[in-house]
Amino acid sequence: MLARVLPWRTEVIQYLLITLNYWVFTLSDGALRMLVVLYFHQLGYDPLNIAALFLFYEAFGVVTNLLGGWLGAALGLNRTMHIGTGLQLLALGLLLVPSPWLSVPLVMASQALSGIAKDLNKMSAKSAIKTLVASDQQHTLFRWVALLTGSKNTLKGIGFFAGGALLSSHGFQNAVAIFAIAIGAMWILSMLTVQADLGKAKKKPTFKQLLSVSRSVNILSAARLFLFASRDIWFVVALPVWLASEFGWDFWQVGGLMASWVIGYGVIQAATPRFFDARHSQQAVAKWGFLLALMPLLLAAAHSKQWLTPAVLITGLVCYASLFAINSALHSYLIVAKAKHDGVSLDVGFYYMSNAAGRLLGTILSGAIYQAAGLGWCLLVSSIVLIISAIIAKRL
């Protein structure tokens, strides 16, 4: 329908529609994460209990990516994307109950649905790009993947800020309602416009294909697990709680800093193809992984010397964001490039299963290590885990 109206190729129109869906979804996902962390911190929950609220979010992501890749190949990526967007709407709806009903089991159930929704949406969007780009256009593939992923993270950062700001100005339920309306509108639009057969495998996939037999995909998946575990060990719970408790920052300040970090990270991620040739990405991924491991180590040293002032922390966050963005962009391109073309979502789903497992591990460790030993140890463990990721990536 849109191809008749706009003078663009069908592939570009579909890419824009998928990206728009991913943007709106990610905005709501980032806001919801910040709303839950700050709201329950306000209610007096300790870091480990706050981390526990997200366990189902991350745990269900492991299963969702594995089965979602199979569903995407069997049913089409448009259907898995629509299912994910609908589940996010349901997750937000569960949190619209009166405040006294916001029990831990209800929030965990909402986060479980949100985790399933997020990973279905992400797997669908990333896999769809492979089907829209010719196999001999690898740098175009690199640019499209980096743009989708980088812009997504920028929107997630804006979601962090919006979550903190709306919590301060409108309260928890009203903030959730605003994002539910946006998700509902996008859900309807995508169902009307996205191709019905997008990403559907020519041969019906079997359950035996859920586990990857590709050496490159397996190496990338293992490296990705440790890469994202390293980030969430100190970033997902420990850092926002530390900012609120040590610096006495208000919700909008914490949300603003987290948002600025993710926005900057997304911008750098989207720009990475300007500085790297797709042909040399395999050699670059391990080298930049080792460089990234230095940043949390330096921040841990500053923390131990009591030098971690707001200015030092922000400077460290900028450097960390730059290096992490480059690493993530290289990883995201390589998995799409290495995935088989027919049934691409099987390999991409397996890869993002590892990504979800890393986030789950990082979330648990973030609350546990911070509560037991503080932010400094979170940073130190993060550096060690990054070194493991880089060693694995070097095998490519």
Q: Which pLDDT tens digits describe the chain residue by residue (396 residues)?
A: 444 444 445 666 776 777 788 888 888 888 888 788 778 877 888 776 777 777 777 778 778 877 777 777 777 777 888 888 899 999 999 988 887 887 878 888 888 888 888 888 877 777 777 777 776 778 788 888 888 878 877 888 788 778 878 887 888 888 889 989 999 998 888 888 776 666 566 666 555 555 656 788 889 999 999 999 999 999 878 898 898 888 888 767 877 787 788 888 889 998 998 888 777 788 889 999 999 999 999 999 999 999 999 899 989 999 999 999 999 999 988 988 887 766 577 778 888 888 888 988 998 898 889 989 999 999 999 999 999 999 999 987
Instruction: Answer whether 18's CB lies under 8 Å from 133's CB.
Output: no
Tally the domains of the chain.
1
Q: What are phi and psi of 211, to 5 degrees?
A: -95, 130
Q: Which amino acid is at 330?
A: L
Indicate the helix (H) or strand (E) that contains 217. helix 215-235
The whole-angstrom separation of Cα 122 and Cα 115 is 11
pLDDT for the residue 390: 95
Of the candidates 164, 25, 161, the one whose C-alpha atom is nearest the C-alpha of residue 91 is: 25
pLDDT for the residue 277: 79
The whole-angstrom separation of Cα 171 and Cα 176 is 9
Domain that holds residue 174: 2-393
Indicate the helix (H) or strand (E) that contains 110. helix 104-132
Instruction: Answer whether 270's CB lies under 8 Å from 149's CB.
Output: yes
The answer to whether the predicted template modeling score (pTM) of the entire model surpasses 0.95 is no
Instruction: Count the neighbouring beta carbons within 10 Å of the beta carbon of residue 244.
Output: 18
Q: What are phi and psi of 145, to 5 degrees?
A: -65, -45
pLDDT for the residue 195: 67
pLDDT for the residue 202: 61
CATH number at residue 241: 1.20.1250.20
